[in-house]
Amino acid sequence: MSIYLTRSINNSFDIILSKLKEALHAEDYLIATEINVQGALKNKLNVDLPQIQIIGTNTPKVGYQIFTSDPKLGVLLPFSIVLHELNDNHVEVTMIDPVWLFSSVDNIAITTLAAKIKLTFKGILENL
């Protein structure tokens, strides 16, 4: 089992990032964190990298289900997504596989929820 879902897309980084955010919002996912990896490493280490962005996302409904099931499972949130510019007009989008993420949780409600989230994430990736 892979730990992530991924897709390479021919389009500009900014367009894919915008489409991703729109698709997440359409599914009720909120952006909890955004990290501009390229900018942070340039600033701290003075190194040049292609554009890399990490997005942390979740929905209130999913958060509620997880925290009411076992608050300690919050350490697995938010769900991570990485956009990595491979070259001009070619970007790889990688999302954590929620089924893998929660595979060691012995709770049928959470594993069922993870499977539903995975389907949502697959749909988002396919439609970018």
Which CATH number do you get for residue 109? 3.30.310.70
Note the pLDDT of residue 1: 75
Residues of the chain with pLDDT under 70: none
- Total domains in the fold of the chain: 1
Note the pLDDT of residue 14: 95
CA distance 81 to 123: 14
Domain with 92, as residue range(s), is: 4-126
Note the pLDDT of residue 93: 98
Q: Is the pTM of this model over 0.85?
A: yes
60 vs 41, 57, 66, 78, 81, CA distance in Å? 31, 10, 10, 11, 18
Are the beta carbons of 1 and 100 closer than 8 angstroms? yes
Note the pLDDT of residue 50: 94
Note the pLDDT of residue 87: 86
